[in-house]
A and B are shown apart, each in its own frame.
Chain A
């Protein structure tokens, strides 16, 4: 199964700056999702973008999807120290059963107060 690749692997920014994380994948997808994981905890669903959508917003989050390039980006605007976490993209692959997700390797974001 294909796996998404996020870049950068780690990102350190100052509070108030914007953070951009990218994700690439390899096969056809039904949707792409972004999740957040605080250290040693479970994942929290952030946003889902379907294959026929190009951009989606949720609060300070902006997600784009380019199916021709098989890539997505997550932008967090006006970052806060509380945004410090690992961020994973996950794809629901076309043809996969039961809403299975394939996760990328994640970007570790550190927001410095």
Chain B
């Protein structure tokens, strides 16, 4: 159990376009979802925390107008990278948890974004 999927698994886009990444909890209701960014050979950096039905809480230094997060249902959160630029190229990973799961987060497989 506790499977989280992400779509797409990779995306290449032109600079200036917007890209939407979906994160779904397949077999549980995720009251909280997290979005991370990971640069090559580096750790995960938390971008934002998303609670179902409320606005996301962004970490310091993360532009909320650049990275739009929507958590409209208990099984789906989306991250939209608006007007993407080459420096936004990265590996984006979501995770999900619920009150029943408490401290454990279940991670999606990640989405690799390359902005040309």
Binding site for B on A (CB under 8 A): 3, 30-31, 33, 35, 40-45, 48, 88, 92, 97-106, 108
Contact = CB atoms under 8 A, between A and B. Distances in A.
B107 A99 contact: no
Contacts, number: 60
B49 A97 contact: yes
B109 A41 contact: yes
A102 B46 contact: yes
B110 A99 contact: no
* Best-buried of A31, A42, A98 by chain B (most CB within 10 Å): A42
20 contacts: A3-B43, A30-B103, A33-B104, A40-B110, A41-B109, A42-B108, A42-B110, A43-B93, A43-B95, A45-B107, A48-B104, A88-B44, A92-B103, A97-B57, A99-B102, A99-B103, A99-B105, A100-B34, A101-B34, A106-B43
Interface of B: 4, 6, 32, 34, 36, 41-46, 49, 51, 57, 91, 93, 95, 97, 102-110, 112
